[in-house]
Amino acid sequence: MIPASIIIPALNEAGQLPELLAGLQGLRDKGCELILVDGGSQDATCALAEGQVDQLLSSDPGRAQQMNLGAKSAQSEWLFFLHADTRLTPAAQDCLLRLAHHSPACWGRFDVSIQGRHPLLKLVGWLMNGRSRLTGVATGDQLIFVHVSLFKAVGGFPDQPLMEDVEISKRLKQRYPPLCLKQTVLTSGRRWEEKGLWSTIWLMWRLRWRYWRGIPAEHLAKEY
């Protein structure tokens, strides 16, 4: 029996894949399934994934569509949605296996640490984890996981171009509160460093606030 399916949506992630997939082969050796869902990459993403994953799928671009396709093809009862620029620490890998082998149906996420040159990125990650505990809303960077029965019950990720992680969290927490695990995953700070730390923080909070006020994700995606 496959303990867990790790679903990776990707689009032009050739620079990330070698390190990412090399770090996941230990989980694969322990029976976990790796599924990479490509959204139409124009680089070597698919070529690099050959032989390193159990399923290599093609999809229209859009993270929600890609993750839903991966979930539909998954052979496990446990779904872990991993961004291409996020890495699992050894503690997170051990926790993933324990969860898949021993936990009842539930959902949740891991703590995240943002890696990069800016000294305040650690603080940003700490604040993200605290906000998630208070609100019960997980972000994609935090390695969202969900039992397939709950995933199907809420209809999977909503087909929208942004805030799909926020929306599925809202639907799932109506059924069960999330497990907010202290084991850490590491995610790249490239977005904050490329666009500026404070401008990125302001953008994300503004988009979340407007989404909470009912602005459609399709409109917000134009500003992202």
Extents of the domains making up the chain: 5-191
Q: How far apart are CA 127 and CA 140, in angstroms?
A: 15
Residues 6+ apart with CB under 8 A from 72: none
Does pTM top 0.85 for this prediction? yes
Domain 5-191: which topology? Spore Coat Polysaccharide Biosynthesis Protein SpsA; Chain A (3.90.550)
Residue 208 has a pLDDT of: 80
Residue 43 has a pLDDT of: 96
Which residue positions in the chain have pLDDT lower than 50? none
Q: What is the DSSP string of 33-56?
A: EEEEEES--SSSHHHHHTTTSSEE
In the structure encoding, which two tokens stand for residue 51, read together?
Answer: 């032989």
Residue 197 has a pLDDT of: 79
**196-111-152 Cα angle (round to 5):** 105
Cα dihedral across residues 8, 12, 16, 22: positive or negative: positive
Q: Residue 119 carries which side chain, given as an amino acid letter?
A: P
Q: Which residue has the tokens 């503004």?
A: 206
Residue 206 has a pLDDT of: 84
Residue 215 has a pLDDT of: 76
